[in-house]
Amino acid sequence: MPDRICVAQIGAPHGVRGEVRLWSFTTDPLAVARYGALETEDGKRSFKIETVRAASDHLVARLTGVADRNVAETLTNLRLYVPRERLPATEDDDTFYHADLVGLAVVDKDNADIGIVVAIHNFGAGEIIEIRLKTGGLTVMLPFSMAVVPVVDIANGRIVIDPPEGSLTTGEARDDTPPQRSDTTR
């Protein structure tokens, strides 16, 4: 399991006084302010959220040490991480941190190797699991539900899928993975 979890990404500046748009990847978006100092991916910079408020599809945050728009602009697209131990334990056996799922092997119910998990998405209608297929480097997206993903075995580094007929025959090539929410419940 990863030692640090990506919990947010800084967006464009908001106004001229140093506030930034912030996309939170936590179940409760405002919880990101309760995790203490947030670090950049390389760990060289950290930011404490002084104030945060909800906006239409993101948060607006004031970060310690960011006092004007020029400084805020230099932070655009930075991903922010916290040490895993600062995050709450998952509440039940069917709640997972995305970081724990990405990279797991994917097998079918007959234990045939299908591929690996590359991302978890939520486009508004429920969680979607993205899988890079073993052959061809294509990805497919499937519902992250008990019916399609009946087994998540983090301890053994795998998930078992029971995909709908024909769902593994199409996909698209993919080179990168977008930022993810930090946790999910199926």
Going from the C-alpha of 158 to that of each of 80, 161, 185, the distances in angstroms are 27, 10, 17
Res 168: pLDDT? 84
For each of the domains in the chain, give its residue range(s) and CATH number, in order of start: 4-86 (2.40.30.60), 95-185 (2.30.30.240)
Give residue-wise pLDDT tens across range 54-97: 998 899 999 999 999 999 999 999 999 999 888 888 777 778 88
- Is the Cβ–Cβ distance between 76 and 10 less than 8 Å? yes
Q: Which H/E stretch holds residue 101? A: helix 98-101
